[in-house]
């Protein structure tokens, strides 16, 4: 990959840093997925990646998408990034339907509104260029549309602990450092939605902790909406809200360490795997309403023990 890179990273940092006045960051972009469906068309059959995802993410929120591999998490990120078009449903970012954007609108959207960090850090970077040059180059798309990112390059490198590495080629950095640089390039254009795919999957404990800290520092300072995919339990534990994608749908949510099942817009609910020994697939379930909510009762087990209490609703 080749590109014309402005040289002299340190000088660029100081010039841009001095020119930009302090200003409060703009809030991130809200995300709303409505009955989102995506199919991959293969020669022998179609594979359903998303089966009707309903998801609301507030402006400025940070959310981690969890779940086994192959359940649609990365597909969801690519739809929000405008890389894939959904097969059905709607994906709204800042109130705009990404799936209905024209090619011209998508180019501007990816340059100005959204930052993307792919799983392999080097897929986001120019290995031969310095850290500062990579971060500066990542801004050119937004600047081409007349958008001036609010955070100066120098300030962004300071925030993410990259100032001392500013003049080093990316190729000589550790995996953890490269991933932080990738996050910096994703945020460099000032996009108010940052999408991050598996940022710690290839890192040791030190690299993981550095990336986790960088994500939280970036979120605090920029107020960007951040949606990240992870299998890392330690990274997930640091995020206030987690969403588990299972079988192409939202299966559960975590809020500050507590796990909850989610009732979808169509009234369906996915039971967590640890409940399936009590309510296995094809079980007849009786719904019993009471003052605190609704109980799910195994109808077969109730018949075995001769119970028949509560108000029947299904």
Dihedral-angle region of residue 70 (phi above 0 means left; psi in -120 to 50 means alpha; beta otherwise): left
Would you state the structure tokens that stand for residue 108, as one six-digit string?
């501007």
3-state helix, strand, coil in the chain (%, to 5): 35, 25, 40
Q: Are residues 230 and 313 in the same domain?
A: no
Q: Are residues 201 and 304 in the same domain?
A: no
User: Three-state secondary structure along 38-52?
Assistant: EEEECCCCEEEEEEE
Confidence of residue 293 (pLDDT cuts 50, 70, 90): confident
- Amino acid 303: pLDDT: 66
Span 57-77, pLDDT tens digits: 999 999 999 988 888 999 999
| E strand or H helix at 208 | helix 205-222
Q: Are residues 213 and 296 in the same domain?
A: no
214 lies in a domain?
A: yes
260 lies in a domain?
A: no
41: CB partners within 8 A, 6+ apart: none
Q: Are residues 194 and 313 in the same domain?
A: no
Supply the range of the domain harboring residue 308. 276-314
- Amino acid 130: pLDDT: 97
Is the pLDDT reported for residue 284 higher than 60? yes
Mean pLDDT of 138-158: 93
Q: Number of structural domains, the chain?
A: 2
Q: Are residues 158 and 290 in the same domain?
A: no
The Cα 156–Cα 10 span in angstroms is 13
- Amino acid 266: pLDDT: 81
Q: How many secondary structure helices (H) and strands (E) does the chain include?
A: 10, 14
Mean pLDDT of 92-96: 97
263 lies in a domain?
A: no
What percentage of residues in the chain have a pLDDT greater than 90? 63
The Cα 194–Cα 62 span in angstroms is 9
- Amino acid 50: pLDDT: 95
- Amino acid 8: pLDDT: 44
Span 1-55, pLDDT tens digits: 445 544 444 444 443 444 444 566 678 999 999 999 999 988 888 889 999 999 9
Span 180-190, pLDDT tens digits: 999 999 999 99
Q: Are residues 28 and 132 in the same domain?
A: yes
Would you state the structure tokens that stand for residue 168, as one six-digit string?
């080093």
72 lies in a domain?
A: yes
């Amino acid at each position: 990959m080749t590109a014309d890179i402005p040289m002299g990273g340190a000088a660029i940092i100081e010039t841009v840093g001095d020119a930009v006045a302090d200003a409060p960051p703009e809030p991130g972009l809200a995300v709303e997925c409505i009955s989102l469906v995506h199919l991959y068309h293969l020669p022998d059959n179609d594979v359903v990646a998303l089966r009707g995802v309903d998801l609301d993410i507030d402006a400025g929120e940070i959310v981690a998408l969890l779940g086994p591999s192959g359940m649609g998490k990365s597909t969801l990120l690519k739809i929000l990034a405008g890389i894939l078009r959904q097969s059905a449903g709607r994906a709204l970012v800042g109130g705009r339907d990404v799936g209905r954007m024209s090619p011209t609108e998508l180019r501007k959207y990816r340059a100005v509104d959204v930052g993307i960090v792919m799983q392999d850090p080097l897929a986001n970077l120019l290995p031969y260029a310095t850290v500062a040059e990579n971060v500066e180059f990542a801004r050119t798309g937004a600047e081409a549309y007349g958008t001036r990112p609010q955070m100066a390059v120098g300030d962004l490198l300071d925030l993410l602990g990259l100032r001392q590495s500013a003049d080093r080629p990316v190729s000589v950095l550790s995996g953890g450092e490269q991933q932080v640089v990738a996050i910096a390039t994703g945020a460099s254009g000032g996009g108010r939605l940052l999408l991050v795919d598996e940022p710690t999957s290839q890192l040791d404990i030190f690299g993981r902790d550095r990336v986790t800290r960088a994500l939280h520092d970036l979120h605090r300072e920029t107020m960007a909406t951040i949606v990240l995919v992870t299998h890392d339990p330690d990274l997930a534990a640091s995020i206030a809200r987690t969403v588990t994608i299972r079988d192409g749908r939202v299966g559960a949510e975590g809020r500050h360490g507590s796990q909850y099942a989610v009732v979808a817009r169509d009234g369906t609910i996915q039971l967590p795997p640890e409940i399936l020994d009590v309510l296995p697939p094809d079980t007849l379930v009786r719904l019993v309403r009471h003052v605190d909510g609704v109980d799910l009762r195994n109808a077969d087990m109730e018949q075995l023990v001769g119970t028949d209490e509560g108000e029947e609703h299904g």
